[in-house]
């Protein structure tokens, strides 16, 4: 009897780290749900590429800060596949401009909290019944380097608060859902920027990154290959972990600040 393929939803997956994760899981034998907000053209192109790998692929537009859109997305997945086995919560808004907490607007505070914590929790809540039904599931959250240390991060107060809250939630959910065969882990990438999010490790070898103790830039492959490992059948004993994949980079106190 042929084993049924796993279905993986990766939020924010038309581009960047989400795209690399979608491709890597498709190559590992999963059917894929791409999620996007405004990058429809990129999502369509990625869907075609994934289907070329022999996987089924569904692309759904949904904003992770809006519960009704998350419900619509999960309904689409149920209609198409009847199951959801892997959830990678990659999407999460970030304001790169450095700013004190007092200078954020109330709308920006709510947007960052909803996108990086509340929306993730709501989507997990929608996915859990589908995973429990099959006594199997893999949930991946995204944080930032050294998020588990819960240090203060000046000029990133709201984003950091949301992600550090997600650290505790990750550990709690991992314990609560272990009996159902569901694992929950958090990925904490280094500062992977621009095109490097969609590159392979081989493409950056020989390139120097002065901010990285490792000495080279991070890539999408660095992140996606670990996610694929955590989503494997035999990775069921790895849960509740906060995993830094940063080349030793510290976003709060980077190497340049102490050299």
pLDDT, tens only, 121-157: 999 999 999 999 999 999 999 999 899 988 889 999 9
**pLDDT (tens digit per residue) in 64-74:** 999 999 999 99
**pLDDT (tens digit per residue) in 187-213:** 999 989 999 999 999 999 989 988 888
In a domain, 2, yes or no: no
Q: Residue 25 has which token pair?
A: 């899981």
In a domain, 56, yes or no: yes
CATH of the domain at 166: 3.40.50.720
Q: How many domains does the chain have?
A: 1
**pLDDT (tens digit per residue) in 227-256:** 999 999 999 999 999 999 999 888 877 766
> What range defines the domain where residue 237 resides?
7-257
In a domain, 239, yes or no: yes
Q: What is the pTM of this model?
A: 0.94
In a domain, 63, yes or no: yes
Q: Residue 24 has which token pair?
A: 């890597």
Using alpha carbons only, give the angle 227, 158, 139 rounded to the nearest 5 degrees.
20
In a domain, 1, yes or no: no
| 9 close to 57: Cβ distance less than 8 angstroms | no
CA distance 23 to 27: 6
**33 - beta bridge partners?**
9, 58
In a domain, 183, yes or no: yes
In a domain, 11, yes or no: yes
């Amino acid at each position: 009897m042929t084993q049924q393929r796993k279905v993986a939803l990766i939020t924010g997956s038309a581009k960047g780290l989400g795209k690399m994760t979608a491709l890597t899981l498709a190559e590992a034998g999963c059917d894929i749900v791409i999620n996007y907000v405004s990058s429809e053209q990129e999502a369509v192109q990625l869907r075609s590429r994934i289907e070329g790998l022999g996987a089924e692929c569904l692309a759904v537009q949904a904003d992770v800060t809006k519960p009704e859109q998350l419900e619509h997305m999960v309904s689409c997945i149920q209609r198409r596949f009847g199951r959801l086995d892997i959830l990678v919560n990659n999407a999460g808004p970030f304001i790169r401009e450095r700013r004190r907490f007092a200078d954020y607007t109330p709308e920006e505070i709510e947007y960052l909290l909803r996108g990086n914590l509340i929306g993730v929790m709501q989507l997990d809540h929608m996915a859990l019944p589908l995973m429990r039904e099959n006594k199997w599931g893999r949930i991946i959250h995204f944080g930032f380097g050294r998020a588990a240390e819960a240090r203060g991060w000046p000029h990133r107060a709201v984003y950091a608060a949301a992600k550090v809250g997600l650290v505790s939630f990750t550990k709690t959910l991992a314990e609560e859902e272990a009996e159902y065969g569901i694992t929950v882990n958090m990925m904490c990438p280094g500062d992977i920027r621009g095109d490097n999010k969609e590159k392979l490790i081989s493409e950056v070898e020989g390139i120097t990154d002065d901010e990285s103790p490792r000495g080279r830039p991070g890539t999408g492959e660095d992140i996606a290959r670990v996610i694929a490992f955590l989503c494997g059948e035999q990775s069921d004993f790895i849960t509740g972990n906060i995993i830094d994949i940063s080349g030793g980079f510290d976003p709060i106190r980077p190497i340049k600040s102490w050299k």
